[in-house]
Amino acid sequence: MSLPDLELAEAVRADLVTMVSLLHAPPIGEVHADAGSTWFLTGTPSTHSNGILRAFLPPSDLDGAIERLLEPFRSGSLPLMWWRFVPPEPADEAVEQALRRHGLLLEADRPGLGLELERLRRPAMPAGGRVERVRDPSALASWVDVVGRAFDDPGFADRPSVVSFRRYGFGDDAPFRHYLLRLEGWPVGAATLSLGAGVAGLGNIAVVPEARRRGVGAAVAAAALSEARELGPRIAALSADPLGVGLYLQLGFREVSRHLTYVWSPER
């Protein structure tokens, strides 16, 4: 029998909140978890460098709770992102209206996908393909190159997430594991597992332009999830770019929630 969608939706939220908290922990920034809310700030004036990842908003005090959560960012004139996951959070029009009243605008609405790992459908490996786990700085440099090229981000090597990946290292007790797929020895695909929340969070699925439409993305994602299944987690989770949903459905994922991102800036 399949797990309830709500359990998978809770796993999506747990993975993403934990992942971003780990990536912005000191020395990158500061992370706070109190009274049912989780938020972080780095001091960098960029929307996605500061944020409220999980918010406790009592119906009797919506405006007051929102104001209290915004105060550290207002006082520092820092823009931020505000996440909602529906479900497990309710699709509450009163909450939506309150966020808008306080200057928060919906920027993105992405599907949250969940998978029971025992139901993983593993595709065939592309001819000449081999997946390896990143175990040292040299392999991480190849991984960074693949992701940067795939997302057309020449500055990816200096992103806070990559700085944190280097800091956490490559041991079996690290909260992140990275994977490379090589075709005939050349690195062309990448993936990351986030394991800090006790679920298999899948991210950074990337394929360099010249190797696309050959099954590389599905193969490297499936290899990472297959290893996760051996480590103990029962559930895999991710927030998907709508263009990548087909790949994840192919692996056995199903949509279980919506990952909503609101943004706020001091000017607003």
The per-residue pLDDT string of the chain (268 residues; one tens digit each, 9 = 90 and over) reads 789 999 999 999 999 999 999 999 999 999 999 889 999 999 999 999 999 999 999 999 999 999 999 999 999 999 999 999 999 999 999 999 999 999 999 999 999 999 999 999 999 999 999 999 999 999 999 999 999 999 999 999 999 999 999 999 999 999 999 999 999 999 999 999 999 999 999 999 999 999 999 999 999 999 999 999 999 999 999 999 988 899 999 999 999 999 999 999 998 6
The reported pLDDT for the residue numbered 146 is: 98
Q: Residues with Cβ < 8 Å from 145, sequence gap 6 or more?
A: 187
The reported pLDDT for the residue numbered 267 is: 82
* Contact yes or no for 80/263 (Cβ under 8 A): yes
Using CB atoms within 10 A of its CB, is residue 166 exposed (0-12), middle (13-18) or buried (19+)? middle
CA distances from 72 to 29, 76, 100, 241 (A): 13, 6, 19, 30
Q: What is the largest CA-CA distance in the chain?
A: 61
The reported pLDDT for the residue numbered 243 is: 85
Q: Are strands 129-133 and 235-239 parallel, antiparallel or unpaired?
A: unpaired
The pTM of the full predicted model, rounded to 2 decimals, is 0.95
Half-sphere exposure of residue 116: CA atoms within 13 angstroms, side-chain side: 9
